[in-house]
Structure 1
Amino acid sequence: MTHRARRKRYIITGQVQGVGFRPFVYRIALENKVTGTVSNTSDGVFIEVQGDERTLAGFAFDLEDKLPPLAEVTSKTEDELPIVDGETEFKILASEGKKGNRVLISADVATCDDCLRDIFDPENRRFEYPFTNCTNCGPRYTITKSIPYDRAKTSMSCFPLCSDCKTEYEDPLDRRFHAQPNACDVCGPYVWLTTQDGVEQCRGTKAIIQTAEALATGRIAAVKGLGGFHLVCMATGAQGQQAIETLRTRKNRWGKPLAVMVRDIETARAIADLTEEEEHLLLSKERPIVLCRQRCDAPIAKALNPGTQYVGIMLPYTPLHHILFKYFAQQTCELPVLVMTSGNMSSEPIALGNREALKRLHPLADVFLLHNRDILVRVDDSVVRVQEDTAKPQFFRRARGFAPRPVFMADKAPSVLGVGPELKNTLCYTRDNEAFVSQHIGDMQNLEVYSFYEEIAEFLPQILEVTAEAVVHDLHPDYMTTRFARDYGEEHNIPVLGLQHHAAHIFSVLAENKFTGTALGLALDGTGYGEDGTIWGGELLCINNETLEHSRLGRLAHIPLPGGETAIHEPWRIAQGILWNAGIKKSDKEWTWQSVFSQQSLFLPQLLERNINTPLTSSCGRLFDAVSAMLGICHTVTYEGEAAILLEDAQDLTVTEAYECPFKKTGEIVELDSVHLFLQCYQDWLQGIDTGIIARKFHLGLVQGCARLVARIASETGITTIALSGGVMQSFTIGTELPKALAALGLTVIQHTQLPPNDGCISLGQAAYGRQWLLNKKV
């Protein structure tokens, strides 16, 4: 009995290019004995298959069940086609390109186990070759010029394949079939070692060996990686301590913890008490930096992460890293742990090219390990932690391995650009129901970062093939991003919309969770320009992300910032300002900052009394800073969030009692009396109560106060969905305890899962607002 032949067409969109999808389709076509074709197009992967009912059913099952490791399908359509007479085989067709692509750009992926076996097999032709890769691993986003993702459209286009690599590249049954960065030491990129002045010393494996030797003797290396340069030095022993101190001095980065790369998961276990979820993240294909609780006996230098119990760890994610660790471990008797921090001066973007690195990192590094595979898109390392209550990851910085993976929205809408905030900047373009949030760009406080910002603002719409129909910015009139938005809108003749900073936070978390309708949003962060011209930072908002109506229903009590911006860097000023406003002009017990800032402290009341450069703020972050300074933990900050991080680390976790944090109605606003919370901390400090007890009671008091405030407003409005956002949600204590406290009161809590709760999420919130504005306008 013969079965009637049929022909079907599948169109697959998603992350299906550069991930071995066509050879996968080819293999399952051969296994199921169907004929037809498969090709990459700007609309996705097109598949035509012909066979009888049984063979087509087998193919369809395998197409869903046996996807390649890196493939992610977001849509699949299936159509019936006329039979093609005389077709006898299945073919892979050449890629087609046209405007309006629907393909997702693949993120960069850590070296797979198969390639690692090749690298460390002396009989393999890729033995110790630092650019080994296949369709299951290697660079993607950082080497891509345009879509479809083919070699000619990557930075590998200048490296013609040798005969062996070409054979692999053209064999559909080889795992390197159409692996666009495919290369070997005959035809591909190479590494070389130079001095600070750029004088080449040696190439290839010898260059890696000599870099390892330099690191083992306490020197600092600038190493070109996947998305830019790292500054690398020892992290263990006396030499590691000295190397880190030297690096901090050169980089002018005094207190901020530095991340480390370790040779393997066993080494990670030796320096941190890892949970199962943390190990899973460390070993994931994205290979982020994971914040883990440091072991008390960890043999790492004290200068690495002063004042915190947490250490940022990542595992090697390129062949170069793996080979470097092989030889570094041979050169030292210490645990194979290396500081691996961004290759930049503080506040600048990560260095990208060789000449740029030699110029910018010359004062920082002793030697340079360079290579000649161009990085087209600079991308820093991602930073995450595992939330204790949910065991899910929370981003601190979303970049390599994750960008430009889209956030999928609830519905389709016109394209919009969200230009992002001033600090921890990202920008976001939308396409239909997809939101593409860029990698972490940084703080928009110098021309170097702004130039990086402009690079990505031009690159993303080009590679996504979208044209924004509106642009949305922060309300702050002096932000560089605000000015960019206005210029962009004028140049492209599109609407320019402003959205308040904290409203953008809440629009973002609602968009991530595909929530539509009305919700209460609690945004707890540092500072943001308010709709009334004051400085906000601890806000309870009511937001409808369909009508775009939003209002401010609650906030933290106002506290002063004596000296304005200076108070953010010297939080003792905030502490003294709160006390002065509360009528406490002096104390029998010397304030913790008076010995160091005696003259400034005597002068401060004049600012307060005359209200000179002393704005008020409802900022939750500044409240943390004030408590930290009042307790003598942190009087001046060297990096954002330092005072709060050190205050949290000081907690006595055995304490369960909380300070009172009541609320009261002030006009139309319900105000959380956070000043009363601060004064209880102060009174206990006067009585000599242990700092750890005060710090813990403060954290728990704030959690309970916020929870009761939200519950009060929820009861009055009948709104029970609570969205949480803002940098304070990155506090281990607040981020864990506040959602639990709200849930215990019967409220439904939604949080960030794909983006950081800090300002890195702002651009998504802006874009979500703008696309809904366009939809509403068309109704």
Structure 2
Amino acid sequence: MQVGQRIRVRGRVQGVGFRPFVWQLAARFGVAGWVLNDAEGVLIEAAGEGLEGFVVALRTEAPPLAQVDAVEVEACEVDAVEGFIIRASGDAGAETQVTPDAAVCADCVAEVEGDGRRAGYAFTNCTNCGPRFTIVTGLPYDRAQTTMAAFDLCEACRAEYQDPADRRFHAQPVACPTCGPRVWIEGVEGDDPIAAAVGVLTSGGVLAIKGLGGFHLACDATDAAAVKVLRERKRRPAKPFALMAPLDVVRRHADLNESEEALLRHSAAPVVVIAKGGEALPEVVAPGQASLGWMLPYTPLHHLICRAVGRPLVMTSGNQSGEPQVIGNDEAHEKLGAFVDAFLMHDRDIARRLDDSVERADPPMVLRRARGRVPSTLPLPDGFPDRQVVAYGGQMKAAICLVKNGQALLGHHLGELDEALTWDAFLAADRDYAELFDHAPEAVAVDLHDGYRATQHGQARAGAEGLRLVGVQHHHAHMAACMAENGWPLDGGKVAGIVLDGTGLGTDRTLWGGEVLLGDYRGFERRFWLKPAPLVGGDMAAREPWRNALVRLDQAGLSDWADALFPHKPRDMLRKAADSGMNAPMSSSVGRLFDAVAACVGICPDRQSFEGEAAMRLEALARYDPRLGFYPSQGAEQEIDPQIIFEYMRGEIAKGSPPDHVSSRFHTGLAFAFATRTVMSLVKTGKAQAIALTGGCFQNAHLLAEFQRLLAGCGVPVLTHRTTPANDGGLALGQAAIALAALESD
């Protein structure tokens, strides 16, 4: 025996090549001992003169896909051994985290494009890349617990799998043309499925491609007619399409900066929103938008197709409108057959559907958290108890959050829960996450809105299992999510939360959407708000911007302008409904204020074809120019009244002021009203120790930049969303943090 150290490594350290990494470090530092996987992570016993450097390297040189949360070291006696060995794994456990799917690495791409035994092979991967979460069926993470279980390793692949010096050591999805999954094409003839697929795309066809988390619908993005056909078939008239292309092609069509290029290259391979630039693509790809969503090929199959096509491809989710993405071959035939001219299929099953993540690099923000980002966890801020909680989010952009061992797992984007298949996916995700992470909550957090299906589900579960139920106000959850993401401690002091979004049920049972809250995880006060206006027709007000313009103009005493703008609309009927309150709930929604302004300048006043269309088009017109000034606002002591905004707008539009000037002044004026007039009073009086910018409206990069500009130098931290969505996709994180705070107070 000799004196050494027992080293426990916690985090995402299984299935990422951590043990061979440790083995190689041991050889480098002259350390003897052993390493194994167990239920808590990776366990090492080691001794030798280089032990100090060995431990430092464990923390600082982890493999690309690893996430080291802790390295715990204690002295121990180590068996006198020569060399270093990898021992068989211990008991399985759910403490080690499952790895997100990762884009194919450069080494594997080189093999696919080379002339070796994996030349042209669409499922090439190694420990540093490839499918993970989308193929896992259970724990521990090994081949038998993935959808690769049906494919027996050939001798060559098994030799790689068993060699600690090989980058495919214990890479569970390892495969080759001899033993792995295969690709084929349906709908067109051809011995080479890749060549046949390329033929469909280059001849103006629409192709369904089975990927990692589901099917994509693809067409040539430079072919306006092909894109139009896809829009018509999918009944998606205006929502921007995501694009896929190699980096050199992206550079031809986008105004790409260093941070955007780095994000494109990240192993998560998200869709990155980038300003248009260079060679223009057809307007039909993203009508009325100033930016496009780009992603690089992230599987070998994508690389093979994109390299052969040589031009950008539309790569949008393969689903029927409002439904989840298709993942099964039979399901694809049933759901997508009317959309496509051919199918590019494969026989590796998808264990769980994941949409592509959507992100922005500048300013950094996750707009949709999905493939490549889940199931990564976030550390909880200081002060929270180590207890288990589940939170169920809201009705739209649904996502679930589980808390365990001081970590929060914010699940993947699910969609709108009023769609039956999305609801089924929500229930499946709830079971799936609980099983994968051995989660046994003692509290359930839900939104206050009893009409939300997620709330009803949480209430039913809490009642059935005898769990504590914590109801959380929608905008308090938004604020808490921003605080938690930024590590704001449980006892860090009060935060002024500027919460701008569509609607959420307030404590007064009205619909909030433009608030300044002062509070912490334990509670809040509503200090300022946008003057409420009726949402005539309820949900119809979110679909038809002219309705919001009519009520705001009437409030401002500008009914004659409303009559002139919308002469053929049923104005009298809406006004009667607004006066009576019949299906016209009052709301302080900033999202609906954006709709009203957009309608006044002629942006899709009749109907939005997708959520946020009017606001996105209005944002696309905005630019920062200090010479343009801004529209002021007024109101009572706690109320922000936009009346004067519309008065100024009317006058300037009558004088011929262009829509981009109107949009710019509106954005800056809105930021000034909330940032300068209200929040700064809380900061200057010492009531707020930080400011949080949250809610779906802060997906608007121009609006966020205006707030940050006005709040620069305010003397307190300004917290923003970067790794979790500002929209309802991050809601469950805030709910979970508030529920934990409630448990801590017991």
Q: So what's the TM-score if we normalise by structure 1?
A: 0.92
Q: Which runs of 4+ in 1 moved over 6 A?
A: none
Alignment partner, residue 525 of structure 1: 501
Q: What CA deviation, in whole Å up to 9, does each residue of 1:455-488 have, x standing for no partner?
A: 1111112111121111111111111111111121
Asked whether the equivalents of residues 13 and 104 of structure 1 are also in contact (C-alpha less than 8 Å), the reply is: no
Q: How does 1:131-210 map to 2 (within 5 A)?
A: 131-195=123-187, 206-210=192-196
Q: What CA deviation, in whole Å up to 9, does each residue of 1:489-539 have, x standing for no partner?
A: 123220122111101000111111121332111100011111111110001
> Distance in 2 between the 1:553 and 1:618 partners?
13
Pairing partner for 2:433 from 450, 460, 469: 460
* Amino acid of the structure 1 residue aligned with 2:479: I
Alignment partner, residue 611 of structure 1: 581
* SS at 2:423 equivalent: helix
* Amino acid of the structure 2 residue aligned with 1:601: R
Q: Confirm whether residue 111 of structure 1 aligns to residue 112 of structure 2.
A: no
Asked whether the equivalents of residues 623 and 702 of structure 2 are also in contact (C-alpha less than 8 Å), the reply is: no
CA separation of 1:25/1:746 partners in 2, compared to 1, >3 Å: closer, same or farther? Answer: closer
Pairing partner for 2:269 from 255, 266, 287: 287
Q: How much has 1:653 moved relative to structure 2?
A: 4.3
Q: Confirm whether residue 680 of structure 1 aligns to residue 674 of structure 2.
A: no
* SS at 2:565 equivalent: coil
CA separation of 1:608/1:772 partners in 2, compared to 1, >3 Å: closer, same or farther? Answer: closer
CA separation of 1:371/1:719 partners in 2, compared to 1, >3 Å: closer, same or farther? Answer: same
* Amino acid of the structure 2 residue aligned with 1:614: A
* SS at 2:594 equivalent: helix
* SS at 1:498 equivalent: strand
CA separation of 1:559/1:90 partners in 2, compared to 1, >3 Å: closer, same or farther? Answer: same
Q: How much has 1:59 moved relative to structure 2?
A: 2.8
CA separation of 1:192/1:679 partners in 2, compared to 1, >3 Å: closer, same or farther? Answer: same
Asked whether the equivalents of residues 542 and 551 of structure 1 are also in contact (C-alpha less than 8 Å), the reply is: yes
Alignment partner, residue 214 of structure 1: 200
* SS at 1:8 equivalent: strand
Alignment partner, residue 229 of structure 1: 215
Q: Confirm whether residue 628 of structure 1 aligns to residue 610 of structure 2.
A: no
Alignment partner, residue 407 of structure 2: 434
Q: How much has 1:599 moved relative to structure 2?
A: 4.4
Aligned length: 738
Q: Confirm whether residue 319 of structure 1 aligns to residue 300 of structure 2.
A: yes
Q: How does 1:222-371 map to 2 (within 5 A)?
A: 222-236=208-222, 240-262=223-245, 264-295=246-277, 297-329=278-310, 336-371=311-346
> Distance in 2 between the 1:104 and 1:190 partners?
29
> Distance in 1 between the 2:452 and 2:441 partners?
21
Q: What CA deviation, in whole Å up to 9, does each residue of 1:657-696 have, x standing for no partner?
A: 111123422xxxx111223323322332344432222221
* SS at 1:553 equivalent: strand
Asked whether the equivalents of residues 755 and 761 of structure 1 are also in contact (C-alpha less than 8 Å), the reply is: yes
Alignment partner, residue 90 of structure 2: 96
Q: What CA deviation, in whole Å up to 9, does each residue of 1:268-298 have, x standing for no partner?
A: 1100111111111111111111111111x52
Q: Confirm whether residue 79 of structure 1 aligns to residue 74 of structure 2.
A: yes
Q: How does 1:356-395 map to 2 (within 5 A)?
A: 356-387=331-362, 392-395=363-366
Alignment partner, residue 542 of structure 1: 518
> Distance in 1 between the 2:189 and 2:199 partners?
14
CA separation of 1:202/1:485 partners in 2, compared to 1, >3 Å: closer, same or farther? Answer: farther
Asked whether the equivalents of residues 108 and 401 of structure 1 are also in contact (C-alpha less than 8 Å), the reply is: yes
**What's the RMSD between the two structures over aligned residues?**
1.8
Q: How much has 1:585 moved relative to structure 2?
A: 3.1
Asked whether the equivalents of residues 385 and 744 of structure 2 are also in contact (C-alpha less than 8 Å), the reply is: no
Q: What CA deviation, in whole Å up to 9, does each residue of 1:42-83 have, x standing for no partner?
A: 1000111133xx232343343334322222210111122223
CA separation of 1:683/1:415 partners in 2, compared to 1, >3 Å: closer, same or farther? Answer: same
Pairing partner for 2:7 from 5, 10, 28: 10
Asked whether the equivalents of residues 102 and 131 of structure 2 are also in contact (C-alpha less than 8 Å), the reply is: yes
Which runs of 5 or more residues in structure 2 are unaligned?
A: none
Q: Confirm whether residue 20 of structure 1 aligns to residue 27 of structure 2.
A: no
Q: How much has 1:586 moved relative to structure 2?
A: 2.2
Q: Confirm whether residue 398 of structure 1 aligns to residue 369 of structure 2.
A: yes
Q: Confirm whether residue 691 of structure 1 aligns to residue 677 of structure 2.
A: no
> Distance in 2 between the 1:663 and 1:722 partners?
22
> Distance in 2 between the 1:34 and 1:647 partners?
62
> Distance in 2 between the 1:353 and 1:187 partners?
21
Q: How much has 1:227 moved relative to structure 2?
A: 0.8
CA separation of 1:428/1:626 partners in 2, compared to 1, >3 Å: closer, same or farther? Answer: same
Pairing partner for 2:618 from 641, 647, 663: 647
> Distance in 1 between the 2:145 and 2:434 partners?
16
* SS at 1:350 equivalent: coil
> Distance in 1 between the 2:657 and 2:308 partners?
52
> Distance in 2 between the 1:177 and 1:443 partners?
41
Which shifted more, 282-291 or 126-135?
282-291
* Amino acid of the structure 1 residue aligned with 2:473: Q
> Distance in 1 between the 2:555 and 2:641 partners?
14
> Distance in 1 between the 2:303 and 2:78 partners?
51
Alignment partner, residue 332 of structure 1: none
Q: How much has 1:591 moved relative to structure 2?
A: 3.0
Q: So what's the TM-score if we normalise by structure 2?
A: 0.96
Asked whether the equivalents of residues 347 and 445 of structure 1 are also in contact (C-alpha less than 8 Å), the reply is: no
Asked whether the equivalents of residues 556 and 673 of structure 1 are also in contact (C-alpha less than 8 Å), the reply is: yes
> Distance in 1 between the 2:138 and 2:718 partners?
40
Asked whether the equivalents of residues 92 and 139 of structure 2 are also in contact (C-alpha less than 8 Å), the reply is: no
Q: What CA deviation, in whole Å up to 9, does each residue of 1:353-377 have, x standing for no partner?
A: 1111111111211211111111112
* SS at 2:179 equivalent: coil
Alignment partner, residue 457 of structure 2: 484
> Distance in 2 between the 1:609 and 1:78 partners?
69
> Distance in 1 between the 2:686 and 2:588 partners?
23
Q: How much has 1:432 moved relative to structure 2?
A: 2.0
* Amino acid of the structure 1 residue aligned with 2:429: I
Asked whether the equivalents of residues 95 and 148 of structure 1 are also in contact (C-alpha less than 8 Å), the reply is: no
Alignment partner, residue 64 of structure 2: 69
* Amino acid of the structure 2 residue aligned with 1:77: E
> Distance in 1 between the 2:689 and 2:634 partners?
21
> Distance in 1 between the 2:57 and 2:689 partners?
43
Asked whether the equivalents of residues 398 and 414 of structure 2 are also in contact (C-alpha less than 8 Å), the reply is: yes
CA separation of 1:563/1:153 partners in 2, compared to 1, >3 Å: closer, same or farther? Answer: same
Asked whether the equivalents of residues 556 and 646 of structure 2 are also in contact (C-alpha less than 8 Å), the reply is: no
* Amino acid of the structure 2 residue aligned with 1:169: Y
Q: Confirm whether residue 503 of structure 1 aligns to residue 476 of structure 2.
A: yes
Q: How much has 1:103 moved relative to structure 2?
A: 0.6
Which shifted more, 275-284 or 147-156?
147-156
Pairing partner for 2:549 from 561, 568, 575: 575
Q: How much has 1:35 moved relative to structure 2?
A: 2.6
> Distance in 1 between the 2:600 and 2:613 partners?
14
> Distance in 2 between the 1:473 and 1:491 partners?
15
* Amino acid of the structure 1 residue aligned with 2:18: F
Alignment partner, residue 54 of structure 2: 59
> Distance in 1 between the 2:169 and 2:78 partners?
29
> Distance in 1 between the 2:68 and 2:623 partners?
47
Which runs of 5 or more residues in structure 1 are unaligned?
A: 330-335
Asked whether the equivalents of residues 416 and 471 of structure 1 are also in contact (C-alpha less than 8 Å), the reply is: yes
Q: What CA deviation, in whole Å up to 9, does each residue of 1:275-330 have, x standing for no partner?
A: 111111111111111111111x524222100001101111000000001122223x
* SS at 1:68 equivalent: coil
